[in-house]
Chains A and B, each alone.
Chain A
Amino acid sequence: MVDVRGLTVAFGPVVAVDRVDLTVPAGASVALVGRNGAGKSTTLRALAGVLPPTAGSVQIAGVDAVRDPSGAKTRLGYCPDVGGLIARATPWEHLHLAAALRTMGKGWEERAGDLLQRFELDGVADRLTSSFSHGMGRRLSVVLAAFHSPAVLLLDEPFDGVDPLGVDATLTVIRELRLTGSAVVVSTHLLDLAVRACDEAVVLERGAVVAAAPAAGLAGPEGAAHYRSLLS
């Protein structure tokens, strides 16, 4: 579902993502982990079509994201690492906009309403997002990424500043989408949650993949020690 070959993203002389290969089959989930500045968010932005790759290929559910960016974006849902919301729009207005851009027919409101309820945002669905706390913003970003049941779900730091109920709701959404065949990529610093959400973990360091292993190997104190050894 996600097939990345030799992905490179450079900003002038600075290579933020250096020939990254990544494959996430349908129904699988991969955690992207690594230090700050390792290139995790840049990788996800390139997959989401927000940043054009300098080199390499990106296939999203069989669609070449470079040749047909709009087609690829139709098949994915993306939760950015920071913000990601229009300050003077409400959650429902965000959903209306997303549904319009994705030319979704009738029936999406029910799933969207259900997700807002599960993420405890139904009470603030008509409030401007500029008044949201950081955690509320993260939760809404996950809703916006997932409400259209995308074939590929990209979540960048979805658990950051989110309370345990929000974390559970996010993990449930990931599980449900995997069951329907979606491929999920999660970038997070929280190793325990990466282990709970994903089967496999890919470690990035200085823009390059330094290790790929079952996510369970990063669980607990031994897993954390192993992770630190990979980073150093």
Chain B
Amino acid sequence: MVRSPRARLGFLALAATTPLLSLVAAVAGRLAPDGSRDEVVLLAPTALIPVAVLAVLAPMLAGGGNELFPDDHLTAYPVSSRTVYTASLMLTPLNLAWVTQVVGLVGLAAFIAERGRLLVLPVLTVLAYVVLVTVAGQAAGWWLTGIRQHRAGRVVTWALASALGLGGVLVVTTGVLLGLSALAYVLGARACDWALRQPGDATLQSQTGAVRRGRRRSSPRAQILATDRSSVWRSPSLRRGLLVLGILPGLVAAAAGLDWTSLALLPALVAAGAGLLFGVNVFCLDGSGSVWLASNPGDPARAFWCKAQVVAEGSLVAMGITLAAGSLRADRAPTAAEAVAILSCAATALLLVLATCMDLSVTRPHRADLRGPRNTPAPPGAMAAYSVRLAVSATLTGMLFSALSGLSDWLWAAALALPLGLLSLRRLLSSARKWSDPAVRSRVVATVASG
């Protein structure tokens, strides 16, 4: 069939049609006057729907996809099903409706793309969307074809079609979403099975390799701090959590270009996140070593305050990175009220999170060794409760100081930070007093060291 020069020329022309028309549409879109651009931008997302509908419906109605050769012609040849599927995809541009919609989308993308920026990226994005819906549509078509080979499958598809015909668009949509969820569950279970069977070389290597010997610290307190900091940084889950907590909120704040009033919300939320990493059960850093530590001399309060310092350091570093990254996109320097509100929020949140974490660590300890990448400092139920507790208090704190940052006088933020900070400090000192009781300490040690 393709031996004929005319046929070959015809196919070449056909293959060039879509790219050529798309190029014309892109140029036309870029050159068109942009008087009504804002309205078009608002309506543009709806233009994505028709191509998706066509891409999904056409293969379904065609019984799976486009046919390059009839099945009986291929009987004698070892053509794989993947080849059939790929060939079907390749034939999609022969559908005039598909070509028309793709060309229209490219023109639309060129029109609404910001002037002065490269046109290639928006057009590529639109084309990637078209590829996605086309491939997904073909896949859905073949799935439907397979399902309809069975009587039960035909019953289900007719029931779905009837529901749609009776005006149940939402019913069908819900059904499709639930079906996709079930499929995602099956795929997720397979992915989990595969991931858990991997040997995990990175984790093993980090635990069996030699560590550079550090210098001896000048005081017991400095030595305890060094040990605690190492316990945090050498835990895969804590290390990953700190990196994500330090970098991600800052990136989001920088990308969003938050104003100073919005930025005032962040320190409290970031501090709460840092507390949840390990602060809510901070003595688990020592694990079974806490029994041996308890038999060593020294003021027990030192262990408490060193752990509190490590929690505070984690929160401060995360807050600092977030605020620094967020301030990069600010279009002006903060006013006095804004600056004081942000700093007051950070200080208040730090004390609040610290007080909550140390209270929980002393009164509700848990066994947790934090060795694996998915380990948490407390069981899932406890973590959920702690998350709610810290999130609510952090959000309220952030909202309060965010509101105060909008006032003209900076004294308000400072005045509110003082009593809130003192309340948290009082709770912190109360936890320290509890820790000074040998019976309380022995209970914490026994719990974190158990198992």
Task: Let me know if A89 and B230 touch, CB within 8 A.
Answer: yes
Contact of A88 with B220 at beta-carbon distance under 8 Å, contacts A101-B297, A102-B296 already known: no
- How many residues of B sit at the interface, in one of the four size bands? 35 or more
Residue A98 at the B interface, CB < 8 A?
A: yes
Please provide the chain A residues from 111 to 138 with a CB less than 8 Å away from any CB of chain B in the complex: 126-128, 130-131
Task: Let me know if A50 and B217 touch, CB within 8 A.
Answer: no
Task: Let me know if A86 and B287 touch, CB within 8 A.
Answer: yes
Q: Which of A70, A80, A93 contacts B297 (CB 8 A)?
A: A70
Task: Let me know if A85 and B292 touch, CB within 8 A.
Answer: yes
Cα A90 to Cα B208 in complex, Å, equals 11
- Per-residue interface assignment for chain A, residues 15 to 47, with 1 indicating a CB less than 8 Å from any chain B CB and 0 otherwise: 000000000000000000000000000000100
Residues from chain B with a CB closer than 8 A to the CB of A181 are none
- Per-residue interface assignment for chain A, residues 67 to 107, with 1 indicating a CB less than 8 Å from any chain B CB and 0 otherwise: 00111011010111011111111101110111111110000
Task: Let me know if A83 and B227 touch, CB within 8 A.
Answer: no
Cα A127 to Cα B206 in complex, Å, equals 10
Task: Let me know if A86 and B289 touch, CB within 8 A.
Answer: yes
Q: Which of A82, A83, A88 contacts B234 (CB 8 A)?
A: A88
Most chain B Cβ neighbours within 10 Å, of A78, A85, A102, A128? A128
Task: Let me know if B211 and A127 touch, CB within 8 A.
Answer: yes
Of B16-24, B26-34, B329-337, B437-445, the stretch lying at the interface with chain A is B437-445
Residues from chain B with a CB closer than 8 A to the CB of A98 are 296
Cα A66 to Cα B190 in complex, Å, equals 58
Residue A223 at the B interface, CB < 8 A?
A: no
Task: Let me know if A84 and B291 touch, CB within 8 A.
Answer: yes
Task: Let me know if B295 and A49 touch, CB within 8 A.
Answer: yes
Cα A126 to Cα B211 in complex, Å, equals 5
Cα A101 to Cα B217 in complex, Å, equals 11
Q: Which residue in chain B gives the minimum CB-CB distance to A90?
A: B211
Task: Let me know if B211 and A73 touch, CB within 8 A.
Answer: no
- Per-residue interface assignment for chain B, residues 207 to 220, with 1 indicating a CB less than 8 Å from any chain A CB and 0 otherwise: 11111111011011
Contact of A73 with B296 at beta-carbon distance under 8 Å, contacts A50-B445, A88-B234, A126-B213 already known: yes
Q: Which of A74, A83, A87, A101 contacts B223 (CB 8 A)?
A: A101
Contact of A82 with B214 at beta-carbon distance under 8 Å, contacts A73-B295, A102-B296 already known: no
Cα A45 to Cα B441 in complex, Å, equals 13
Cα A133 to Cα B96 in complex, Å, equals 69
Residue B427 at the A interface, CB < 8 A?
A: no
Q: Which residue in chain B gives the minimum CB-CB distance to A95?
A: B216
Task: Let me know if A50 and B291 touch, CB within 8 A.
Answer: yes
Min Cβ gap A168→B in Å is 23
Task: Let me know if A100 and B211 touch, CB within 8 A.
Answer: no
Task: Let me know if A97 and B227 touch, CB within 8 A.
Answer: yes
Task: Let me know if B217 and A96 touch, CB within 8 A.
Answer: yes
Residue A51 at the B interface, CB < 8 A?
A: yes
Min Cβ gap A124→B in Å is 8
Task: Let me know if B289 and A103 touch, CB within 8 A.
Answer: no
Min Cβ gap A33→B in Å is 21
Residue B179 at the A interface, CB < 8 A?
A: no
Task: Let me know if B298 and A93 touch, CB within 8 A.
Answer: no
Residue B88 at the A interface, CB < 8 A?
A: no
Task: Let me know if A86 and B227 touch, CB within 8 A.
Answer: yes
Min Cβ gap A114→B in Å is 17
Cα A100 to Cα B215 in complex, Å, equals 12
Contact of A96 with B223 at beta-carbon distance under 8 Å, contacts A50-B445, A88-B234 already known: yes
Residue A141 at the B interface, CB < 8 A?
A: yes
Residues from chain A with a CB closer than 8 A to the CB of B293 are 86, 97
Residue B299 at the A interface, CB < 8 A?
A: yes
Cα A50 to Cα B443 in complex, Å, equals 10
Task: Let me know if B296 and A93 touch, CB within 8 A.
Answer: no
Residues from chain A with a CB closer than 8 A to the CB of B291 are 45, 50, 80, 82-84
Q: Which of B227, B288, B298, B442 contacts A82 (CB 8 A)?
A: B288
Which 9 A-B pairs rank lowest in CB-CB distance, beginning with the nearest? A83-B288, A86-B289, A100-B223, A78-B295, A52-B438, A88-B234, A73-B297, A48-B295, A84-B292
Question: Which chain A residues have a beta carbon within 8 Å of chain B's beta carbons?
Answer: 45, 48-52, 69-71, 73-74, 76, 78-80, 82-90, 92-94, 96-103, 126-128, 130-131, 141, 144
Q: Can you give 20 A-B contacts (C-beta < 8 A)?
A: A50-B442, A52-B438, A74-B297, A80-B288, A80-B292, A83-B287, A84-B291, A85-B288, A85-B292, A86-B285, A86-B286, A87-B289, A89-B230, A89-B289, A93-B211, A100-B224, A101-B298, A127-B209, A128-B211, A141-B292
